[in-house]
A and B are shown apart, each in its own frame.
Chain A
Amino acid sequence: MMLGNESARAEVVRWIKDWKPGSRPLFLIGPPGVGKTTAIRNMANDFNMYVFELNASDYRTKDRLRELLGNISPVNLMGQRILVFLDEVDGLYSKGDAGGVEFISEFIGESRVPIVMAANEEKDFLKDIIKKSKVVEFKRIPAREIVLYLKHIASQEGLSVANDALEGIVKSSNNDVRYCINQLQALQTGAVYKDVKYSDEEAVSLAMSSRQFDMAVYYINRWNADPERKVSVVAATLFYNQPPDLPRRARWLAEADLLLGRIKRTQEWRLLKYLNYMLAEAMSNMMGVYNEYLIPYTVINERWKREIYAGITDDLFKQVHTDKGFVAAYLVPLYEILVKRGIVVNDAVKRVIGG
């Protein structure tokens, strides 16, 4: 069952029924959580189509998009027609997705498969794409309807929630249905099972999708991990996603990490109660995906070099009367050149510098 935007959804169905190679792509515009993504997934389901989806959690540079979409075939191995769905295209910002917009603009002109795009806003850089598309607008859903909908879900799930609690959720959500459902589940699980615990991925994902700071705190409090792990995973997720307000969030994370360092040093564990608030500030209300690896994978791949560099640094350090920092920053690079030029022979180092 879906809520609201009936005529918009009908237009979506009409578009796919009429689609043939050369037809305009579909462009959905509307605020978050009003059912754009769900409408597309339902439609694909009804028409037995396979949805190839790319959203803000994927890299969408020109090269990456060309690689994924350049030669896409109209049917998959199961014989299903393929539908390309580019969700959250207004998030194609900054250098991270360099050239993505230009690629899409060319691609939609010549595509052999139906393409749907969705965005929250008509960003300036999307003008050209929008001009070439059939635009369908999704509107915010009236609060009254959402409350009814939540009641329906609650009764189906056998939950009892007070009316004013539901109204409170809807009010704070800015009429975002997806968010309301999340909150409903969260409140209810919290109330029914007092000790509900979330895994790393659940806690972080839920905290990110929490619009309200308090909800993010709620999830991080019930996150089943030690403080060390929490700080590390929040850091990994934050740095991986690089939200537009990264500096502000990074500051909260750094504060949390400092607090943890102090606690470990002074053994003042009572200070721990502040940690979750700081982590919630770093995570709440952010678009992104879970990631637990702090070290960038390009660096992980070069991990084997670490030991070799440590070896040279130690050897040199023993022979010169100066600090380790100078050795690592200036003497080791010199040593590398000496090896490269054949003035010094050291096979391990040669392998590292690829000479």
Chain B
Amino acid sequence: MSSEIMWVEKYRPQTFSEVANQVEIVERLKGFAKNPLEMPHLLFAGPPGTGKTTIAFVLAREILGENWRSYTLELNASDTRGIDTVRTTIKNFTRFVDKTSGIPYRIIILDEADEMTSDAQTAMRRIMEESSTNARFILIANVSSNIIEPIQSRCAIFRFKRLDEDSVVKRLNEICKKEGVKCREDALKFIYQVTEGDMRKAINQLQMAATLGEVTVENVKTSMAMTRENDVKQMIELALSGDYRKARELLYKLLFIYGLPEEDVLRLMFTGVMGRNDVDTAAASRLFSEYDYRLIQGAHPDIQLSALLAELQSIKAK
């Protein structure tokens, strides 16, 4: 298995010039690349698939050169990043820098930093203050407000916006050319509509559709039915129509067979429910916030999500 198989990774921009749509951000960062010592810690905030991680990598390469990986620590939500990791792994990494190697500092990229506990963030804040000669942090978050205030005020914040239609369609077109895949313009626009400015989803949907032949609206629709997102939609439909047994079977398939993290199932359920016109959306948001809270509190995810499925009946619009 090679990463080249997956287009989302194969077509991840390697340079600033390849990055779509984020012109202002890129221009400011280019300035930092020229004068690395002027660069403060950075906080990238914005919706998924808009280039946050990509741009962090590009920036690291621009500043650190071809061997950037040796001087970069990348931690994402699937690594343990509790207070212990901050006090050991991160602290040690920032302790010294080998100036003879010609690099200005080391770089720590913390993806999904908004998922870190506030304890861990507080510990990190100290390190950010004390290590600024040796290291720069690039924190990446979907929602900047989940980052504690003292950290925010020590970072230059870059807000990423959803990508616009032209730039996504253009990028998809380029990919099709390189892959020798035939595609229709209306199909690419349709992909944009259903992925809502998330380039990661857009590229993935493109590749799924391309496995079926020419990229047409029809093939995009067919391929959409193959994602687990679609399974979640179907599960909601079953629960609302009263076939609770089938709905719950699907839930357990998603959790136990396909291994979807429970927060993702909850999130996809929420999006699915809010996209319908036969539910009371105010009641839905209250219901989902309760269940989200319960998952955080350490309740059993499968029991909670089963109960949530049962309760969907009660938020049907009257």
A residues near B (Cβ < 8 Å) are 94-96, 231-232, 235, 239, 242, 246-247, 250-251, 253-254, 257-258, 260-262, 264-265, 294-296, 298-299, 302-303, 305-306, 309-310, 313, 315-317, 319-326, 328-338, 341, 343-344, 346
Please report whether the interface of chain A is mostly helix, strand, loop or mixed according to DSSP: helix
Q: Within 8 Å CB of B291, what residues of A?
A: 254
Q: Within 8 Å CB of A296, what residues of B?
A: 245, 248-249, 252
Taking the complex as formed, is B282 at the interface, i.e. its CB lies under 8 A from any CB of chain A?
A: no
Do A257 and B299 touch (CB < 8 A)?
yes
Bound complex: CA A335 to CA B294 (Å): 33
Q: How far is the CB of A333 from chain B (nearest CB, A)?
A: 5
Sample (12) of A-B pairs whose CB atoms are under 8 Å apart:
A232-B300, A239-B310, A242-B244, A247-B311, A306-B257, A309-B259, A323-B112, A331-B204, A334-B6, A334-B208, A337-B226, A338-B211
A326 (CB) vs chain B CBs: closest residue: B200
Contact of A298 among B200, B244, B249, B304 (CB under 8 A): B249
Query: What are the 3 A-B residue pairs with the smallest beta carbon separation, nearest first?
Result: A325-B264, A261-B298, A250-B310
Contact of B294 among A261, A305, A333 (CB under 8 A): A261
Do B208 and A250 touch (CB < 8 A)?
no
Do B259 and A299 touch (CB < 8 A)?
no
Do B244 and A246 touch (CB < 8 A)?
yes
Bound complex: CA A235 to CA B301 (Å): 12
B313 (CB) vs chain A CBs: closest residue: A247
B1-33 interface (Cβ within 8 A of A): 1-3, 5-6, 8-9, 12
Q: How far is the CB of A265 from chain B (nearest CB, A)?
A: 5
Q: Within 8 Å CB of A330, what residues of B?
A: 201, 204, 227-229
A297 (CB) vs chain B CBs: closest residue: B249
Do A309 and B258 touch (CB < 8 A)?
yes
Do A322 and B8 touch (CB < 8 A)?
yes
Contact of A325 among B9, B248, B261 (CB under 8 A): B261
Do B259 and A337 touch (CB < 8 A)?
no
Taking the complex as formed, is B111 at the interface, i.e. its CB lies under 8 A from any CB of chain A?
A: yes
Taking the complex as formed, is B306 at the interface, i.e. its CB lies under 8 A from any CB of chain A?
A: yes
Bound complex: CA A261 to CA B204 (Å): 37
Do A299 and B299 touch (CB < 8 A)?
no
B100-152 interface (Cβ within 8 A of A): 111-112
Q: How far is the CB of B162 from chain A (nearest CB, A)?
A: 16
Q: How far is the CB of A90 from chain B (nearest CB, A)?
A: 18
Q: Within 8 Å CB of A325, what residues of B?
A: 260-261, 263-264, 267
Taking the complex as formed, is B268 at the interface, i.e. its CB lies under 8 A from any CB of chain A?
A: yes
Taking the complex as formed, is B194 at the interface, i.e. its CB lies under 8 A from any CB of chain A?
A: no
Bound complex: CA A257 to CA B48 (Å): 32
Q: How far is the CB of A354 from chain B (nearest CB, A)?
A: 14
Do A247 and B310 touch (CB < 8 A)?
yes
6 A-B pairs besides A313-B259, A325-B260 with CB distance below 8 A are A260-B299, A294-B303, A303-B256, A319-B2, A323-B76, A334-B211
